[in-house]
Amino acid sequence: MDLHQFLGIMRARWRFIATTLGAGALLTVALILATPATYASSATLFVSTPTTGVLDPYQATLTMQQRAQSYANLATDAELLHHAASRLDIGITGSQLGRQVSAKVVAQTLLLEVDARANSPELAQQMATVVSDEIIRMVKNLETPSDSDVPAPIIARLAAKATVNKSPVAPNIPLNLVTGLLLSILVGVAGAVLRDRLDTSVKDSEDVEEITGSAPMAVLPFDSDVPDHPLATDSGSGMLGEAFRVLRTNLKFATLDANRQMIVVTSAVPNEGKTFVATNLAISMAKSGRSVLLLDGDMRNPNVADILGLENSVGLITVLLGRSTLDQAVQAHVSGVHFLGTGPQPPNPAEVLDTQATRDLLNRLRSTYDLIVIDAPPLLPVADAAILVTEVDGALLITRYGDTHREQLRQAIARLKAVGGRLFGTIVNQAPARAVGSYGYGYGYGYGYGYGTRRGTEPPEEKKAKAPTKDRGRRALR
C-alpha cells in the first residue's frame, strides 16, 4: 500500500476515524474523572558514619555506598511495614502499605529517598514519616554489634522531613488527555486500514476490470436529490443528465452494428439501482430522437410505473392472456418514452418469460421500436434475468459502490456466461465524488446519481419530509 492508497483510505474512512477519536476522547475523560486524586510526600535520609567512627573515612564511604541500595530494598521488608502499619493505626496491613510506599537511593549520593502516596496529602506525609522512622530504626539494629559497646559504624539520619503537598500527582490530566487522543487516532487509523483490507465490495475500476474483463462503461456518483427527483434526466444540464448522455454514447459504440437493440438492465443482487438506471437510460435514449420502449420485466417487484407515474395494471401479462392488445397496453410518457408494464403479477414469472408467446411478443416489439430497455430482476436470486438475456442483444450489469461484493459480481458474470448472454458493460452506481476520478471517467466534474441512504449519506431533514416523491426514488433501488 503506497501513500496515495493510504490517503485514499483515510478520506474514505474519515467518519470511522472521527468516531473512534470521539469515543476515545470520551473514554479518556471518563477515566480521568473516575480516577481518584493521589497525593505524594517524601522524606530524605542521609546514610553516614559517626564522627568518632571506627572505620577510616574512605573505607566507611565505600561501605555505605555498597549498603545503601540494600537499605532501600529492606524498606519494603514485611516486618518493617508491619510495624509501620501498626503505628499508623489507619486500618491497613503491612502489604497494603507496601503498595503505597517506596524507597530509592539518589544516584551518586548517600541519600535515601522515601516516597509515599495516599488519597490525602496529610496521610501521605504521615506514611512517609513513619516509614522513614522505621528505616532509621532498622539500620541502627542491623549495624549495631549485639555483643559489644562499640557504636554502629553506619547510621541513617533524617535529612529532610516529609511535607504536606496539596497538589495531587495523579491523575496527570494533560498527559492522560494527550495519550488517550494519540491512542484513539492510532486505533482509528489502524481500524480504517484493516476495514479497507477486509472489505470485499467493488470500489475501483481494477475490481470491475479483473472480474468482467473490461473497465466500467459508466460511473454514477451519489446525488442526494434522487429520492425527490428519480427522473434524473429531467434536467438536461444537470450532472445526472450528462452522465446518462455519456452512458448513451458509450452504449452506441458498444453496439455499432445494431439498428434495433434490445437491452436488459440487471444487477447481481437487489437494491443496486437497476430500475433507476433502466428508466433514465430509456429517457436519455428517447431524447436523442430514437423510438424507445421501456419494458418492466420484473414481475416479482415492478417499480417502473411508480417512477414514471403511469399504470401497471395492464401490460405484458394482459397482452399474453389476450385481455388487451399491445397498443392498448403501451403507455406514452411525457419524456417521449413508451412504457409497457408487467400487468397482474403471475404466480410463476420465470415460466411466463420462458414461453414462445413471450418470445414472439419480444420479436414483435423489436420490429416496432429502435430500442427496447428491459428492467429485469437481479441475476442471482431468481432465473428471470438469465431467461431474458437469451432473447436480447446484451445486458448492462449494475453494481453499487461499496455494497456489491466482488464474489457477487463474479457469480453474476458467470450466470450470464452460462446462458450465452452478452455483457455490454458494467455500471458502477452511487460512487462518492472522491472515487469518480479513480475510474478515469468524467470531464473535470462528477457525473451520476445516488439514492437511498448509506454510510452517512442521509439526505437533509427537510428532504426527509417529502415522503411521496422519495418513496418513488427509493423503489428505484430494486
pLDDT of residue 457: 38
Encode pLDDT of 185-202 as tens digits: 999 898 888 877 777 788
> For 363-392, what is each residue's pLDDT tens digit?
999 999 999 999 999 999 999 999 999 999
User: 394 Cβ partners below 8 Å, 6+ apart?
Assistant: 254, 255, 263, 264, 421, 422, 423, 424
Return the closest-CA partner of residue 90 out of 42, 116, 127.
127
Mean pLDDT by 10 residues, the chain (478 residues): 76 85 92 90 86 56 72 87 91 91 86 92 94 90 73 83 90 89 91 79 80 84 75 61 79 70 93 91 88 94 92 94 93 94 92 94 93 94 93 92 88 93 89 59 33 36 38 54
* Cα separation values, 253 from 241, 256, 272, 369, Å: 19, 5, 25, 19
Domains of the chain: 3-35+172-197 (no CATH), 39-160 (3.30.70.1130), 201-475 (3.40.50.300)
Phi, psi of 39 (to 5 degrees): -115, 150
How far is Cα 98 from Cα 75, in angstroms, rounded to an integer?
A: 9
Helices 121-143 and 57-74 pack at an angle, to 10 degrees, of: 130
Report residue 358 as a C-alpha cell.
413471450
Residue 90: name the closest of 118, 70, 62, 69 by CA: 118
CA atoms within 13 A on the CB side of 18: 6
Tell me how far apart the alpha carbons of residues 455 and 401 are, in angstroms, rounded to a whole number: 11
Instruction: State how far the Cα of 39 lies from the Cα of 104, in Å rounded to an integer.
Output: 18
CB atoms within 10 A of CB 315: 26
What is the model's pLDDT at position 67?
Answer: 76
pLDDT, position 151 = 72
Residue 472 is predicted with a pLDDT of: 52
* Grid cell digits, residue 151: 557504636
